[in-house]
């Protein structure tokens, strides 16, 4: 592996896929100290800033769409450092607000690492449906930390809630309800823990601002940390709820991602949470399946599935021998299924799967999932995926028709 000598105060920015090893010196990523001789992996379409706190030697490599650059100084603005010094005086809840590719998750991670170093324990609350770090896309979740981490996407959720789509815009109330349920659970289990809450990147328009106001009412954070200016109506909400807001600059050298890259990141995440999946054939009467909007009657569920499958066939201009739910099984042979959500016997969200078959008359369903335990409930979603995690189709109108 090639090596680079970093002078104290400079930063090596690695764009994934890449890896690095600290050979000599002292360096950190977003407040997380790097361990000497331990490999750091940077995933595809992600970037990590390795800041030299003293003269250091770094081994690195990258491939594909990866790359590297060295800058004088730190990518973390002075304002961020001042902010975390202020908030780390006591246990707090901080909500992080910002648009897509604003550096929002970097700020949430930096805050998280600061809280962990101060209190030896903190919680990361991920409310971003499209670019989730710790749970499958279309869901939200939280995870606890006892040590700083260079990238929260290394972690998996400890608890999660299902929303069902990759943006809150068309499913606002479901996102709000899921956030409320997740927070209630979190407070019951860790009422005194510090929290870094990463909001989604939907910020444009009145509906987006109204959505964030509702999230603030639910979370009641001590601080709203905003990358850029806080909209006037959010300032009003903060003042009404006694929330201190702080306007912060973006990190230096933010790498903007095209929509195709964000989609690819989601697909990598789906694939991650489907890894080591096996096909299970189970009696419908054992599983209590339902749709995202709560339909439990087998015939109505079949109609819901049929609408999504037929929409996908029309979009792809595919002609199959089968129709209705039988077409789903035919599609499964081509490596496609309907994203669904598995719940364990304690009624907790346990992971995702692909619905590959559903036959009310014969009383069975087929689910491709890595979850091997007993399933209490299955929520059937509206996104068609390949077995590799590729997003093929989504039909929001299925929800409205099924109501």
Dist CA 212 CA 221 (whole Å): 12
24: tokens are 């000599």
Task: Of 198-202, 285-289, 367-371, 398-402, give the lowest mean pLDDT range.
Answer: 398-402
What does the angle CA 55 – CA 58 – CA 61 come to, to the nearest 5 degrees? Answer: 155
149: tokens are 């981490």
* Mean pLDDT over each residue of the chain, to the nearest integer: 93
Higher-confidence residue: 255 or 221? 221
Stated pTM of the model? 0.94
Task: Of 13-17, 131-135, 318-322, give the lowest mean pLDDT range.
Answer: 318-322
Nearest residue to 246 via CA among 79, 127, 122: 79
Dist CA 263 CA 269 (whole Å): 10
The pLDDT tens digits for 187-198 are 888 878 999 999
Q: Which sign does the torsion angle of CA 380, 392, 207, 97 carry?
A: positive
What three-state secondary structure class fits 231?
Answer: coil
Cis peptide bond upstream of 182, omega within 30: no
**DSSP structural state of residue 288:** -
**DSSP structural state of residue 251:** P
* H/E segment holding residue 109: helix 104-119
What three-state secondary structure class fits 239?
Answer: helix
> 243-247: long-range contacts (C-beta < 8 A, 24 or more apart)?
243/216, 246/83
Residue 369 neighbours by CB distance under 10 Å? 25
Predicted pLDDT at 255: 66
The pLDDT tens digits for 98-125 are 998 899 999 999 999 999 999 999 999 9
Assess whether pLDDT exceeds 90 at residue 219.
yes
Assess whether pLDDT exceeds 90 at residue 89.
no
Task: Of 47-61, 319-333, 384-398, give the lowest mean pLDDT range.
Answer: 319-333
Phi and psi at 330, nearest 5°, equal -70, -40
What percent of the chain lies above the pLDDT cut of 70?
A: 98
Q: Are 370 and 278 in contact (CB under 8 A)?
A: yes
Predicted pLDDT at 262: 84
Predicted pLDDT at 403: 47
The pLDDT tens digits for 259-297 are 778 888 899 999 999 999 999 999 999 998 999 989 999
Mean pLDDT, residues 364-390: 97
Assess whether pLDDT exceeds 90 at residue 58.
yes
Q: Which sign does the torsion angle of CA 184, 201, 389, 125 carry?
A: negative
What three-state secondary structure class fits 307?
Answer: helix
Predicted pLDDT at 149: 97
Assess whether pLDDT exceeds 60 at residue 402.
no
Higher-confidence residue: 65 or 156? 156
Q: Are 202 and 129 in contact (CB under 8 A)?
A: no
What percent of the chain lies above the pLDDT cut of 90?
A: 84
Instruction: Please provide the distance, in angstroms rounded to a whole number, between the alpha carbons at the two ends of the chain.
Output: 58
All domains in the chain, ordered by first residue: 3-71 (2.60.120.1030), 78-248 (3.40.50.300), 275-402 (2.40.30)
């Amino acid at each position: 592996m090639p090596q680079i000598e970093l002078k104290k105060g400079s930063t090596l920015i690695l764009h994934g896929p890449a890896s690095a090893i600290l050979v000599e010196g002292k360096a950190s990523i977003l407040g997380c100290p790097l361990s000497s001789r331990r490999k750091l992996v940077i995933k595809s379409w992600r970037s990590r800033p390795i800041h030299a706190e003293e003269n250091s030697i770094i081994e690195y490599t990258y491939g594909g769409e990866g790359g590297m650059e060295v800058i004088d100084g730190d990518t973390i603005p002075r304002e961020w450092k001042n902010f975390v010094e202020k908030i780390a005086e006591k246990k707090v809840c901080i909500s992080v607000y910002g648009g897509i590719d604003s550096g929002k998750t970097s700020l949430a991670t930096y805050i998280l690492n600061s809280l962990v170093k101060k209190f030896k324990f903190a919680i990361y609350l991920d409310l971003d449906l499209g670019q989730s770090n710790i749970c499958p896309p279309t869901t939200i979740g939280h995870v606890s930390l006892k040590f700083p981490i260079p990238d929260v996407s290394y972690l998996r959720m400890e608890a999660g809630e299902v929303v069902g789509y990759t943006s809150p815009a068309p499913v606002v109330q479901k996102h709000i309800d899921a956030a409320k349920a997740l927070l209630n659970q979190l407070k019951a289990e860790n009422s005194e823990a510090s929290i870094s809450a990463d909001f989604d990147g939907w910020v444009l328009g009145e509906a987006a601002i109204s959505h964030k106001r509702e999230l603030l009412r639910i979370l009641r954070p001590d601080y709203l940390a905003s990358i850029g200016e806080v909209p006037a109506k959010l300032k009003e909400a903060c003042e009404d709820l006694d929330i201190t807001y702080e306007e912060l600059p973006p990190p230096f050298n933010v790498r903007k991602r095209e929509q195709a890259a964000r989609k690819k990141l989601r697909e990598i995440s789906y694939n991650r949470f489907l890894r080591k999946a096996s096909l299970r054939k189970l009696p419908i009467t054992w599983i209590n399946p339902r749709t995202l909007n709560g339909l439990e009657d087998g015939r109505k569920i079949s109609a819901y599935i049929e609408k999504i499958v037929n929409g996908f066939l029309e979009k792809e201009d595919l002609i199959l021998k089968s129709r209705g739910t039988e077409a789903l099984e035919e599609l499964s042979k081509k490596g496609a299924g309907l994203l669904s959500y598995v719940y364990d016997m304690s009624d907790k969200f346990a992971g995702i799967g692909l619905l590959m078959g559903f036959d009310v008359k014969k009383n069975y369903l087929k689910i491709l999932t890595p979850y091997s335990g007993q399933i209490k409930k299955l929520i059937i979603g509206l996104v068609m995926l390949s077995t590799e995690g590729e997003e093929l189709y989504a039909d929001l109108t299925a929800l409205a028709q099924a109501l």
